[in-house]
Amino acid sequence: MARSRRQAEAANSQPSRGGGLPRTTHTGVNAADTKTVLISALLEVTGQVRFGDGTDIATTVTEKDVVLAPDGRSVEKAIWAGTKRRGVDRRTIHELRNRVGWDGGDCYIPKLCGMCPVCWLFGFTGTTQEQGSEVKGINAKSRVLYATSLSIQDTAQCLNRHSRNQVDEKAQTTAGSAGIHEEEVIVGGTRFPTYTSLIRVLDWEIGAFAHAFLENVNSNRYTAASRGQGGMKVVDLDGEPAVVVDESLFGVFPFAAPKVSASETDVDRVSKLFAATRNSPLSLQPFRAALEAEGFMVEAAANKLTATGGNVELVVETDGKCLVVRQGPDELMKRYYGSEAVGYLRQKQIEFQKQLADSKWRGEFKNEIKGYAQKLQGKAGEKPAEASGNGGTDAGTSDGGDGDGGGD
């Protein structure tokens, strides 16, 4: 059962946690008032794209893998690795950070500074820092987690090969042995469901991811061959973007994100998972069935479900804009669909841009991080200190291997 609001406020009011570490207010790494946010989106290839830069006997290939269906069949799918998205997203936020006048020194993949807002959101490895660095020996885990995406269509449908020629314009000849080669591409219309988890984040950190996601889709930066070929777009479902955002103060989600089976190849079935149903009289029916299957007794009213089981009561309501799940006085989860989901991300993006451009905020962030790093250094002893402890998995320098897949 989730903590009550009063319990949460009492815990958040404590001056420190994690063995005496101070609370942070400018980064969610040890902040009191954080959220967990899950972003699910269905994207569609708009032209010819490729993920990865592998070569197979004069053919540039895209990433693919075999998945297992429940009936034992093997299905080959195109792969969009989560590390490819992460590297491109991080570089996009780096660019915005540098453009607004961040003066904390050089910070780029793979040489990360460990002292800027991006490092404390996406992580970094302190063991690679130079002697004298404030974060020497400190490892910060990423709080933005990317799932690898599988194409809905199998490779028999979504892959094709084309010949590419490199021509010497003056001599009217093909240039060298590499002048004629083949390229394997993912064709337009292929769809990829994507999932991103933001763990213990502040609003500006949600906005940092939102900025990267919205602008990279818009400017075709996610794919290895996007500069000369096609990009991606958010799928349109009956006039609504196929985006779902789940937000929780406690990190508790009574209803699962709209995840797709790895072997699924039915585009229509997948689309229904991402469809905006907030205003339909039937919009609560799937949630009623899910709650009843879990043993709850459910009473239905207009735009409202009340589910009881033992001493637990859950109330599920829709107001035409989002779905809200409450347990007593606590709001466990809020779900935004379609245009409202994109609006949620856009609002956070704009707030992030304003905050990052505020020189006073930047100064306060630097001072807070220096103090926090000093506390970590004091606790580290002979061992590298972990700066998050919030469920993140990837240290920031692992992004260094992502850069070749982004088409930046």
Q: What is the DSSP string of 247-269?
A: EESSS--SS------TT---HHH
SS3 at position 220: coil
Q: What's the confidence (pLDDT) of residue 65?
A: 95
The verdict on residue 158 lying in a domain is yes
pLDDT tens-digit readout, 121-137: 999 988 777 777 788 88
C-alpha to C-alpha distances, 134 to 126, 147, 383, nearest whole angstrom: 9, 32, 15
Are the C-beta atoms of 368 and 27 separated by less than 8 Å? yes
pLDDT higher than 90, residue 320: no
Tell me, what's the pLDDT at 133?
79
Q: Tell me what pLDDT residue 282 has.
A: 58
Residue 8 near residue 14 (C-beta atoms within 8 A)? no
| Owning domain of residue 49 | 22-253+335-379
Rounded mean pLDDT, 37-64? 86
At 16, is the pLDDT very low, low, confident or very high (cuts 50, 70, 90)? very low
**% of the chain with per-residue pLDDT over 70:** 79
Q: Is residue 404 part of a domain?
A: no
Q: Does the pLDDT of residue 394 top 80, yes or no?
A: no
DSSP 8-state symbol, 221: -
Domain membership of residue 78 (yes or no) is yes
CB 188 within 8 A of CB 369: no
What does the pLDDT average to over 96-105?
85
DSSP bridge partners of 315: 306, 326
Provide the pLDDT for residue 181.
67
Cis amide prior to 193 (ω within 30 degrees): no
Selected residue with higher pLDDT from 280 and 69: 69
In percent, the amount of the chain with pLDDT more than 90 equals: 59
For the residues 338-360, what does the mean pLDDT come to? 96
Mean pLDDT, the chain, whole residue set: 84
What's the pLDDT band for 392 if we cut at 50, 70, 90? Answer: very low
Q: Give me the number of domains the chain comprises.
A: 1
pLDDT at 31 over 70: yes
Q: Give the residue among 400, 399, 401, 395 at the shortest CA–CA distance from 125.
A: 395
Please, which contacts does 4-9 make with residues 24 or more away whose CB atoms are closer than 8 Å? 4/328, 4/329, 4/330, 5/329, 5/330, 8/249, 8/250
**Which residues lie below 8 Å from residue 58, measured CB to CB, with a gap of 6+?**
181, 182
Residue 318 lies inside a defined structural domain of this protein: no
193 close to 260: Cβ distance less than 8 angstroms: yes
pLDDT exceeds 50 at position 35:
yes
pLDDT band at 391 (very low <50, low <70, confident <90, very high): very low
pLDDT for 232: 92
Helices 359-380 and 338-356 cross at an angle (nearest 10°) of 90
> Span 234-246, mean pLDDT?
95
Residue 368 domain-assigned (yes or no): yes
pLDDT band at residue 404 using 50, 70 and 90 as cut-offs: very low
- What value does the mean pLDDT take over residues 336-355? 96
pLDDT of 302 reads 82
Residue 293 lies in a domain: no
| Pairing relationship of beta strands 385-386 and 138-140 according to DSSP bridges | parallel
pLDDT at position 382 over 60: no
Q: What is the pLDDT of residue 401?
A: 42
Of the two residues 303 and 364, the one the predictor is more confident about is 364
218 has pLDDT over 70: yes
Which residue has better confidence, 182 or 388?
182
> Comparing 132 with 349, which gets the higher pLDDT?
349
